[in-house]
Amino acid sequence: MLKYMGSCKEVARLSSKALDSKLTFSEKLGMRFHVLMCGVCRGYDNELRQLAELARRKQAEVTDEASEMGEERKDRVKANVQLEIENAAE
């Protein structure tokens, strides 16, 4: 039974992987079993999920703000970026 539990290092890797892709059935099973038994990994997994959710929310806010930016302001930002590129090339 302990061979299915995995190490804390493996569970940390799987917690991160789960944010980006689906885990296999055996990965999910091993991780869930380990997290049931290990409070440290349970806390790590919860914190990692919370951070990922906060990052998604912030990205959505930034995207919304950019879409609401007026054309004049966008043109000014583009001009400033182009100027910085030209100055850096000199």
Please write the tens of the pLDDT for every residue from 22-58: 999 989 999 999 999 999 999 999 999 999 999 989 8
Share of the chain above pLDDT 70, in %: 88
* 1 confidence band (pLDDT: 50, 70, 90): very low
* pTM of this structure: 0.63
Domain that holds residue 70: 2-89
Report how many domains make up the chain. 1
Q: For position 6, what pLDDT does the model report?
A: 77
Q: How far apart are CA 79 and CA 77, in angstroms?
A: 5
Nearest to 26, CA basis, from 41, 10, 40: 10
Q: What is the pLDDT of residues 56-76, one digit of tens each?
A: 898 888 777 766 667 778 788
